[in-house]
Structure 1
Amino acid sequence: MTKQLGGGDPAPPATQAPPRTDLAAGPDDAEPHTDRLRYLDAATRRIARGMNLDETLRELCRAAVPAFTDTAFVHMYAPLPVGDEAGAAPGVLRLRSADRASPRDPDARGSGPPPTGPHALPAAEVVTPAADGLLSKLLQDGRPVFGNSPGVTSAAAELLGTSAPAVPPGRRLIIAPLHGRSHILGSAVLIRGPGRPEFTDDDLIVASQLATHTALGLEKAMLYEREAAIADTLQRTMLPPSLPEPPGVRLASRYLPSSRTAQVGGDWYDAIPLPGNRVALVIGDVMGHSMTSAAIMGQLRTSVQTLAGLDLPPDEVLHHLDEQAGRLGSEHTATCLYAMYDPVQQRLLVSSAGHLPPVLLHPDGRAEVLQVPPGAPIGVGSGGFESVETHAPAGATLLLYTDGLVESRDSDVLTGVEALRARLRAATSGSAPPTLEKLCDEALGALGAGDRDDDIALLAARFEGILPETVAYWYMAPRPQTAGQARRLTRRTLGHWGLESLVETTELMVSEVVANAVRFASRPITLRLLCTDVLRCEVGDDSPIVPRMRHARLSDEGGRGLFLVDQLSQSWGATRVSTGKVVWFEQPLPDTPTDG
């Protein structure tokens, strides 16, 4: 009995299983061979559509059942070998997929109770083949075999999880090893019931082709998943592991990789604390998706962090960043937006290198797209960056984002920015402003769960400001008497703030740091005290020489100043800025627990 595949019709549509075939043709019958080729063409194209392991195996089963076999199940090694690495062969096969045709309708899969009969044999959930056993050798060999071949019955029984006599008699079972380019991945078992002819030698060739294309599809899916995981891990390691918590501002962020590529992108964001309790907010996007884009992104982010430490204005930071990108010798360009927030003066200074404008949410609910001169992208080398200043009142929120949030195949950037502004305005229209985390979710809208054409980076900053009465600031001439003047000003200010318990230690540290600044300064030095969640003291001068702590000898008359600061303060440091340096130290407020 011969059932031919579709006559002269073209290959079946992708949504249908290949037509059923029970081919047992002789060498002079050309039509069945043509039908086998047609069937294999449709089946292999179907298998190739799978984008992950489960999809690939599902397409194999749909292509094989019921068109070629009544039952198909696949065991795969666990863990699966990936790539070209030569490792120890895994010792466990686990059932990964199974499919059976209904005995009531051989051309349909049963959705009710499992079918019964010889073609409904069970599959072992877990198989542990012996390293030198028949099953292992059969899989190593890589060629499909009939279940009743000499010596194969016991291997088939292992896969069926039953005794050898229960293996279907005759040529009704095929074991097809799944052999990839470098590794054995598992095996496929194909079983025909008593209602159709046994497998033929030509069917063994068909099974071999199905197994080969499935194995290649599985390897492709595994490599894609591994590359996607590596790309995602690489991208996330280049982003800040956590955001700082500077006084006067609260921060939140989101990063969503593109769902349409396994390659790493070039989107990044950063928040960098600056001297004087200011904070730099940065977002950028290197054009393209590749490891090169990621490498350039990492270099630019490091350069921005270094430049931010010099306390340069935003336009100067972008100017030097553009010069650095030119020295990288790459044809890649990047957009970048650099904003500097001062919580004391409650002002925002912003400069852009071809980046999208940020959105400022005012306390009254207005959503304003800031008008920032776009400038040229980083790497173009034309410069011309400008900084614009705007008032950033307490309660306002700034949102920085990359183009993946507002641009898609269905809308342009301007439409996307307007839609973003509308979403943010709606999110803040209630009686109470949403939390930053909730605001980020609202900004993403439906993009968080759907397909994304590009990466999305998002940085949100809610400005709280620092009350003027919690800040004291003085300019003092670099004279020997200045240390005593600094002590008196410190004592008076701490008394006004109700911090009498900190007067003695703070006076001593202020005196030591100011005396050190007087030694090197040629212009007036600055002394600033800030009382936020800690008491912070900053002393600035025009000398770029950063002091280093050293251990003074018993015979030395000096050299113990920074040692005392290190012992008495909670933390301290020295930062070079464009005008010289700033030395600072912090102390916990009374009744404030310290770390450790």
Structure 2
Amino acid sequence: MTKQLGGGDPAPPATRAHPGTHLAGGPDDAEPHTDRLRYLDAATRRIARGMNLDETLHELCHAAVPAFADTAFVHLYAPLPVGDETGAVPGVLRLHGADRASPRDPGPGAEVVNPAADRLLGKLLQDGRPVFGNAPGVTSAAAELLGTAGAAPAVPPGRRLIIAPLHGRSHVLGSVVLIRGPGRPEFTDDDLIVASQLATHTALGLEKAMLYEREAAIADTLQRTMLPPSLPDPPGVRLASRYLPSSRTAQVGGDWYDAIPLPGNRVALVIGDVMGHSMTSAAIMGQLRTSVQTLAGLDLPPDEVLHHLDEQAGRLGSEHTATCLYAMYDPVQQRLLVSNAGHLPPVLLHPDGRAEVLQVPPGAPIGVGSGGFESVETHAPAGATLLLYTDGLVESRDSDVLTGVEALRARLRAASAGSVPPALEKLCDEALGALGAGGRDDDIALLAARFEGILPETVAYWYMAPRPQTAGQARRLTRRTLGHWGLESLVETTELMVSEVVANAVRFASRPITLRLLCTDVLRCEVGDDSPIVPRMRHARLSDEGGRGLFLVDQLARRWGATRVSTGKVVWFEQPLPDAPAGDRTP
């Protein structure tokens, strides 16, 4: 890549007169040495300001031109060696930047030079000491470097060119070529020391920038890997999310969100934030998220999930604390159950555009160990939208949390002012507001859920005693319900599978079993009992009288599974609906 960095800024007061013009005095003249030290102090401070590779090279060129040279060319190895890796030196140097007293675009010539180790240029770079362009044999090496710039001048005569290798702690990173025009004195031996210092500080700055960028890339990859790659699509609710890393730090944060399908077409909505920005925060976030997923699979109430999560955080032995909000949505009953562990309250956007901050007891953060979590139930009407978010969305250096929450409510109300509610993805963008464009002090995680509900007439639910006749009863109820829904083509297979699953539940249940049929985008059957023993499919031998029930379910159903819950287990299976109008499938 070739990049024109533009002309140099005015030199600091102590260096406005070019050092090469008046710093060539004799040994009894102390002023030139003082000026060189002042110049180096100002130049190295400026180079150290660079936070990434481009900024570091920019500061080098602007520190060197015009205070020390008229032109500076920087060549870097491609790819750049990073860290403590050992191996073959990269094969090519690429012109990365050029700065001139009279800026001109680098010409269309070649941008790459191959400093083979057995050639002079390769040996000069490995040696690490700056040299004058007129040193024996160096002219050809200088011509190689200048040839990459196309329109660059030929190698100037005399001591008007210095090649200074960029040596880091472990690797050669490239070189900087400094040139003085005919209107200035030639470089001196002392100027070689100045060039060496400029190159050394630049190389250290480049290594710092590369390591910083590599750590940032690893941290960002780690963070995004720990977040769900995609959101589920459960019936009765639509989901959308946003995650924006902080623009003020390259360290990974501990914000996370999740949506976890639960038995009975319910869904758990989770958002959390581990305090701090570090790899440790990300690691703890990953552990807590995994724990939440495990606890959610047990179908525990939200307050119990947070209670067990708090205990798990204590066993991890970390001093980090976290906030977490766990909500459970039931699309059939259209209710929302929420529990909070020190997190910001969610916002419920009603169908009429009213934005309500749900009053949920905050509880103590996860890791404090005080417990005391409570679950609050609220109505979640069809068309309402729930927003869970982390503090980066509502808190900044310029506003506190309360002000930020009110601003969020105002944005949501404005977005819902029309007669047609905004699409969920657009609503997320409106919730982010200007924060989505950058300038963030903290990470932002946002999870939005639009409730659609499931019509009661598409759900059939029964309790049945665990006795031998129950399987036949379940078949009759299934046949009658599917006929009412216009799904006669599914009666035979569904009856068979219901009979097998119910018969298996009767064998282990000690209390009434449940049978539920749901007709949404698929036909779903759920059979629950109080036994924690989860059935496993096995291949029955020809001589076996049983053991084929789940094999039949596996062959006939599109999907099936078994889930442990706090009251026992639920075995479920799904079938695709026949190609028929929706009015023929539902009451």
TM-score in terms of structure 2 length: 0.94
SS in 1 for 2:310: helix
Residues 449/15 of structure 1: CA separation in 2 closer, same or farther (3 Å cut): farther
Asked if residue 442 in structure 1 is aligned to residue 430 in structure 2, the reply is yes
Q: How many angstroms does 1:19 deviate by?
A: 7.8
For 1:419 and 1:270, the matched residues in 2 are separated by 25
8 Å CA contact 2:300, 2:565 repeated in 1: yes
Q: How many angstroms does 1:12 deviate by?
A: 2.8
For 1:464 and 1:190, the matched residues in 2 are separated by 68
Q: How many angstroms does 1:273 deviate by?
A: 0.1
Q: How many angstroms does 1:6 deviate by?
A: 23
For 1:5 and 1:586, the matched residues in 2 are separated by 63
Following TM superposition, the consecutive aligned residue runs of length 4 or more in structure 1 with deviations greater than 3 angstroms are 1-11, 13-22, 103-106, 162-166
8 Å CA contact 2:56, 2:205 repeated in 1: yes
8 Å CA contact 2:16, 2:67 repeated in 1: no
For 1:3 and 1:388, the matched residues in 2 are separated by 59
For 1:298 and 1:18, the matched residues in 2 are separated by 56
For 1:224 and 1:3, the matched residues in 2 are separated by 22
Q: How many angstroms does 1:7 deviate by?
A: 24
Of 182-191 and 24-33, the range deviating more from structure 2: 24-33
Residues 578/142 of structure 1: CA separation in 2 closer, same or farther (3 Å cut): same
Unaligned regions of 5+ residues in structure 2, if any? 583-587
Q: How many angstroms does 1:14 deviate by?
A: 13
8 Å CA contact 1:22, 1:196 repeated in 2: no
Aligned to 1:112: none
Percent of counterpart pairs with the same letter?
94
Q: How many angstroms does 1:89 deviate by?
A: 0.9
* Structure 1 residues 156-171: aligned runs within 5 Å: 156-161=142-147, 166-171=154-159
Q: Can you list the C-alpha shifts for 1:81-104, whole angstroms capped at 9, x where unaligned?
A: 111111221111111000111299
For 1:5 and 1:385, the matched residues in 2 are separated by 58
Q: How many angstroms does 1:446 deviate by?
A: 1.0
For 1:311 and 1:223, the matched residues in 2 are separated by 44
Q: How many angstroms does 1:130 deviate by?
A: 1.9
Residues 467/80 of structure 1: CA separation in 2 closer, same or farther (3 Å cut): same
8 Å CA contact 1:335, 1:353 repeated in 2: yes
8 Å CA contact 1:552, 1:559 repeated in 2: yes
SS in 1 for 2:19: coil
Q: How many angstroms does 1:434 deviate by?
A: 1.3
Q: How many angstroms does 1:165 deviate by?
A: 11
Unaligned regions of 5+ residues in structure 1, if any? 107-121
Residues 14/477 of structure 1: CA separation in 2 closer, same or farther (3 Å cut): farther
For 2:156 and 2:400, the matched residues in 1 are separated by 62
Aligned to 2:488: 500
Residues 103/574 of structure 1: CA separation in 2 closer, same or farther (3 Å cut): closer
8 Å CA contact 2:161, 2:180 repeated in 1: yes
8 Å CA contact 1:2, 1:25 repeated in 2: no
The size of the alignment, in residue pairs, is 579
Asked if residue 458 in structure 1 is aligned to residue 446 in structure 2, the reply is yes
Q: How many angstroms does 1:256 deviate by?
A: 1.0
Q: How many angstroms does 1:457 deviate by?
A: 0.7
SS in 1 for 2:337: strand
Q: How many angstroms does 1:591 deviate by?
A: 2.5
For 2:549 and 2:231, the matched residues in 1 are separated by 32
8 Å CA contact 1:266, 1:288 repeated in 2: yes
For 1:229 and 1:26, the matched residues in 2 are separated by 51
Q: How many angstroms does 1:105 deviate by?
A: 18
Residues 164/17 of structure 1: CA separation in 2 closer, same or farther (3 Å cut): closer
Of 164-173 and 238-247, the range deviating more from structure 2: 164-173
Q: How many angstroms does 1:59 deviate by?
A: 0.8
Alignment equivalent of 2:324, drawn from 330, 336, 343: 336
For 2:186 and 2:15, the matched residues in 1 are separated by 28
8 Å CA contact 1:124, 1:158 repeated in 2: no
8 Å CA contact 1:271, 1:281 repeated in 2: yes
8 Å CA contact 1:2, 1:23 repeated in 2: no
8 Å CA contact 1:551, 1:560 repeated in 2: yes
Residues 300/6 of structure 1: CA separation in 2 closer, same or farther (3 Å cut): closer
Q: Can you list the C-alpha shifts for 1:8-49, whole angstroms capped at 9, x where unaligned?
A: 999938999998855322211110110111111111111111
Q: How many angstroms does 1:453 deviate by?
A: 1.6
Q: How many angstroms does 1:431 deviate by?
A: 2.1
SS in 1 for 2:500: helix
8 Å CA contact 1:5, 1:39 repeated in 2: no
Q: How many angstroms does 1:5 deviate by?
A: 24
Q: Can you list the C-alpha shifts for 1:414-469, whole angstroms capped at 9, x where unaligned?
A: 11111111111111112221111111111111112222221111100000111111
For 1:485 and 1:6, the matched residues in 2 are separated by 85
Residues 343/196 of structure 1: CA separation in 2 closer, same or farther (3 Å cut): same
SS in 2 for 1:165: coil
Q: How many angstroms does 1:78 deviate by?
A: 0.3
Residues 593/80 of structure 1: CA separation in 2 closer, same or farther (3 Å cut): farther
For 2:580 and 2:375, the matched residues in 1 are separated by 39
8 Å CA contact 1:424, 1:439 repeated in 2: yes
Alignment equivalent of 2:526, drawn from 535, 538, 544: 538
* Structure 1 residues 461-472: aligned runs within 5 Å: 461-472=449-460
8 Å CA contact 2:69, 2:179 repeated in 1: yes
For 2:562 and 2:317, the matched residues in 1 are separated by 33
TM-score in terms of structure 1 length: 0.93
Q: Can you list the C-alpha shifts for 1:292-349, whole angstroms capped at 9, x where unaligned?
A: 2111111111111111011111011111111111111111111000000000000000
8 Å CA contact 2:8, 2:99 repeated in 1: no
For 1:443 and 1:450, the matched residues in 2 are separated by 14
Q: How many angstroms does 1:581 deviate by?
A: 0.2
Residues 188/5 of structure 1: CA separation in 2 closer, same or farther (3 Å cut): closer
For 2:411 and 2:417, the matched residues in 1 are separated by 10
8 Å CA contact 1:21, 1:67 repeated in 2: no
CA RMSD of aligned residues (A): 4.2
Residues 539/251 of structure 1: CA separation in 2 closer, same or farther (3 Å cut): same
8 Å CA contact 1:17, 1:62 repeated in 2: no
Q: How many angstroms does 1:131 deviate by?
A: 2.5
For 1:288 and 1:399, the matched residues in 2 are separated by 23
SS in 1 for 2:32: helix
Of 124-133 and 484-493, the range deviating more from structure 2: 124-133
8 Å CA contact 2:387, 2:448 repeated in 1: yes
